[in-house]
Amino acid sequence: MGRKANRLSPFNITALALGMAFLYLPIVILVIYSFNDSRLVTVWGGWSLRWYREFFNDRAMLDAAWMSLRVAAVSATIATLLGTLAAVGLVRGERFRGRSLLSGMLYAPLVMPEVISGLSLLLLFVALNAERGFWTVTIAHTTLTMCFVTVVVQSRLASLDRSLEEAAMDLGCDPVQAFLRVTLPLIIPAIAAGWMLAFTLSLDDVVIASFTTGPGSATLPIRIYSEVRLGVKPEINAICTMVIALIAVIIVIASLVSKLSSSEAKSAAPL
Amino acid sequence: MGLADHMTEESPDTGRPNVDVSAAPAEAAADMPLLRIEGVSKTFGSFRAVDRLSLDIGAGEFFALLGPSGCGKTTLLRMLAGFETPDEGRVLLGGRDIAPVLPHERPVNMMFQNYALFPHLNVRDNIAFGLKRAGMPRAAIDTRVAEMVALVKLGGMEKRKPDQLSGGQRQRVALARSLARRPKVLLLDEPLAALDKKLRESTQLELMELQRRLGMTFIIVTHDQEEAMTMANRIGVMDAGRLEQVATPRDLYEAPASRWVAEFVGDVNLFEGEVTSHEHHRLTVATRDGGAIVVAEPRQPVTKSLVSVAIRPEKLKLSRRGPASDAVTSEAINRLEGVVTDVGYLGGSTVYKVKLDSGAVVRSSIANTSRLDRDTYSAGQRVVAWFRPDDCVVLER
């Protein structure tokens, strides 16, 4: 009975196929057309790596890609640091007043429309008279991605047995050593997963970046968006395919890491 | 006193039951027990977990804190370990107040209920964890770890991670880890609760042997009275944040200080009544249902007239009715007639529930000393329940 339920019925197969097609057909078409030799996006002209070559000769596009990677790496690192600290504060500092308010406020960016965050950051940077460019985008992306890191790290921390830190203190660690020697090694997978999540979110963002970036420091998504407005070049397909590949790799690594982390969490749990 | 001091100071004399308290002020050490708890209280919100509790524990004792869940025993243990600070009162270890000392600076170690083994470290590193923190040289750590591994019989397991061990093995690692620093006092929080019955019993004996061999002071928290009775040489029974009684297992069972203790530790039959006469070291207690029970005079004079008389089931004997029984039971001053209502066969003994003619229900436990079923009673049979005056305990509260 149970085995039968696990097997896919024809109906289930059809439903699954339709759902997957709905999600992935556009992407598959984009990937296929990135290898198109033709100048026209919609006309098939045979297989070729022509547009990939084109991209690697496109100075402006390469600059934008490099900018995006730098912003993503730096903002993800800062967000991971701050997000982890926030998670530790929220999980470990159980008794302070206003804790639930603070945690609610931390999660607000998860549901806040990006246009609003972007606009408010723009107003802030203008008010501070900050020159818009790499650092403003990086700071904006840090505020966007920090709460995601907090969520990931917080859930891992909450599943850790509090008595592990107490045992470390009992065995001679002061509270800081107890955190560094026992808690940190156990939440590292979650921290790594949080970093990768922040990295992909930053790489992906158009809205906030377009509010907070300045002339001459466009990120890749902004650059692509502005190119597309003048008409889709097959080169864009090639760039998008590479971005998809990069993000796919990161997601696979992140899910492997969090799988590892949850299996270790099980062994950390009491009998 | 730093940790390093305590390690070296303790190392040579672990075989001796008297733990060295030379670090304490000289004048205090003379008549001071190893651990003195003075009027300690702890309140969580509006809940008073520990209520002005005082207790002395001597060096080399195996002391059990026994009580129902929520009685404050774990809170008391956590205050000794330093994870909770008392709201009032003092905790003196070797004459020194340790209330302000942080957990990592106390010469006390704890074995946690869920073991709290570090999942990212193997057995060896778990055991060595506290030694490294104490700044022990590498060679000495290796020696000590090997010693501990041998002590808890975990040879060959050093490289395993906690999730590759069975429950019993994890328990041993936790024990080795908490013993490795040679603490003055080892605190054990329900150390055997996660083990199955057979393993628990053998581990109890091993723990006792270990404690005797190391001459350390063990304080164990448990809700299992059999465990406390088996292992400890003294037991403190706690209820609602207070100590109800501190006594040896035997005294706790045979001379409970209150009704609550009598009912909590083991099984008991209670009769309530009024003291009506007092002569020849015998008290007569008139029970509510109109009967009378003769009991031996307790050591402490009875001050109240309303008392409870407690009699343990195995001291309440049964006989068949009729003249034959009278010859056997010349001591049976207290005779209560009734009908057997339930028979529970437990192997080593049988428990009979007897509904007395007065309406009260009493339990009698009779050892099955013979294979053949002589001297057994069946449900519905009329019997005489009798007991000796010496076997009763008079309780005033």
Q: Hey, are the CB atoms on A172 and B134 less than 8 Å from each other?
A: yes
- For chain A, the residues whose C-beta falls within 8 A of a C-beta of chain B are 161, 163-164, 166-174, 177, 181-182, 185-186, 264, 266-268, 270-271
Q: Hey, are the CB atoms on B112 and A166 less than 8 Å from each other?
A: yes
Residue B24: the pLDDT is: 41
Residue B65: the pLDDT is: 94
pLDDT tens-digit series, residues B1-55:
344 444 433 443 333 333 344 444 444 445 678 999 999 999 998 898 999 999 9
Share of chain B above pLDDT 70, in %: 88
Average pLDDT over residues B227-232: 92
Question: Rounded CA gap, B10 and B134, in Å?
Answer: 13
Residue B332: the pLDDT is: 54
Share of chain B above pLDDT 90, in %: 44
Residue B322: the pLDDT is: 54
* Cβ neighbours of residue A108 closer than 8 Å, sequence gap 6 or more: A147
Average pLDDT over residues B70-78: 91
Q: Residues A22, A27, A32, A36: is their CA dihedral positive or negative? A: positive
Q: Hey, are the CB atoms on A170 and B109 less than 8 Å from each other?
A: yes
Residue A261: the pLDDT is: 61
Residue A82: the pLDDT is: 95
| pLDDT at position B176 over 50 | yes
Residues of chain B in contact with residue A176, where contact means CB-CB under 8 angstroms, are none
Residues of chain A in contact with residue B133, where contact means CB-CB under 8 angstroms, are 171-173, 177
Residue A6: the pLDDT is: 62
CA distance A90 to chain B (A): 20
Q: Hey, are the CB atoms on A170 and B114 less than 8 Å from each other?
A: no
pLDDT tens-digit series, residues B339-384:
999 999 998 899 999 999 888 899 999 998 888 776 788 888 999 8
Residue B170: the pLDDT is: 92
Q: Hey, are the CB atoms on B177 and A270 less than 8 Å from each other?
A: no
Q: Hey, are the CB atoms on A169 and B104 less than 8 Å from each other?
A: yes
Of B111-115, B153-157, B176-180, B318-322, least confident by mean pLDDT is B318-322
A with B: how many residue pairs have Cβ under 8 Å apart? 76
Q: Hey, are the CB atoms on B104 and A174 less than 8 Å from each other?
A: yes
Residue B27: the pLDDT is: 44
- For chain B, the residues whose C-beta falls within 8 A of a C-beta of chain A are 3, 81-83, 102-104, 109-110, 112-120, 129-130, 133-134, 161-163, 167, 170, 177-178, 181, 194
Run of H or E residues at B264? helix B259-264
Q: Residue A28 burial by CB count (10 A; 0-12/13-18/19+): exposed, middle or buried?
A: exposed
Q: Hey, are the CB atoms on A171 and B81 less than 8 Å from each other?
A: no
**The amino acid at B302:** V
Of B137-146, B210-219, B314-323, B333-342, least confident by mean pLDDT is B314-323
**CB-nearest partner of B119 from A171, A172, A186:** A186
> Rounded to two decimals, what is the model's pTM?
0.77
Residues of chain A in contact with residue B161, where contact means CB-CB under 8 angstroms, are 267
pLDDT tens series, chain A, 271 aa: 445 556 778 898 999 999 999 988 988 988 888 888 888 777 888 888 888 888 888 888 889 999 999 999 999 999 999 999 999 888 877 667 777 888 888 888 888 888 999 999 999 999 998 888 899 999 999 999 999 999 999 988 988 888 999 999 999 899 899 999 999 999 998 899 899 999 999 998 999 999 998 887 889 999 888 888 888 788 888 888 998 998 889 888 888 877 776 665 554 444 3
pLDDT tens-digit series, residues A126-174:
999 888 889 999 999 999 999 999 999 998 898 888 899 999 999 989 9
pLDDT tens-digit series, residues B91-140:
999 888 888 888 888 889 999 998 999 999 999 999 999 999 988 999 99
Cα angle B253-B255-B258, degrees, rounded to a multiple of 5: 95
Neighbouring C-beta atoms of residue B5, cutoff 10 Å: 12
Residues of chain B in contact with residue A173, where contact means CB-CB under 8 angstroms, are 104, 133
Residue B372: the pLDDT is: 79
Residues of chain A in contact with residue B178, where contact means CB-CB under 8 angstroms, are 170
Q: Hey, are the CB atoms on A177 and B194 less than 8 Å from each other?
A: no
Question: Rounded CA gap, B192 and B200, in Å?
Answer: 6
**CB-nearest partner of A171 from B115, B133, B167:** B133
CA distance B107 to chain A (A): 9
Interface test with B, best of A161, A171, A262, A263 (most B CBs within 10 A): A171
Q: Hey, are the CB atoms on A271 and B194 less than 8 Å from each other?
A: yes
Residues of chain B in contact with residue A171, where contact means CB-CB under 8 angstroms, are 104, 109, 129-130, 133, 177, 181
The CA–CA distances, whole Å, from B252 to A113, B220, B362 equal 68, 17, 21
Comparing alpha-carbon positions, the chain B residue that sits nearest to A185 is: B120
CA distance A251 to chain B (A): 25
Question: Rounded CA gap, B33 and B19, in Å?
Answer: 11
**Which residue(s) pair with B296 in the sheet?**
B282
Q: Residues B349, B350, B355, B361: is their CA dihedral positive or negative? A: positive
Residues of chain A in contact with residue B116, where contact means CB-CB under 8 angstroms, are 161, 163-164, 166-167
pLDDT tens-digit series, residues B237-278:
999 999 999 999 999 999 999 999 999 998 999 998 888 888
Taking Cα atoms as reference points, which of B243, B290, B253, B283 lies closest to residue B394?
B283
Question: Rounded CA gap, B51 and B243, in Å?
Answer: 9
Residue B298: the pLDDT is: 77
Question: Rounded CA gap, B90 and B339, in Å?
Answer: 55
Query: Considering chain B, what is the average pLDDT of its residues?
Result: 84
Comparing alpha-carbon positions, the chain B residue that sits nearest to A162 is: B116
Q: Residue B215 burial by CB count (10 A; 0-12/13-18/19+): exposed, middle or buried?
A: middle
For residue B82 the two structure tokens come to 């330093």
Q: Hey, are the CB atoms on A167 and B110 less than 8 Å from each other?
A: yes
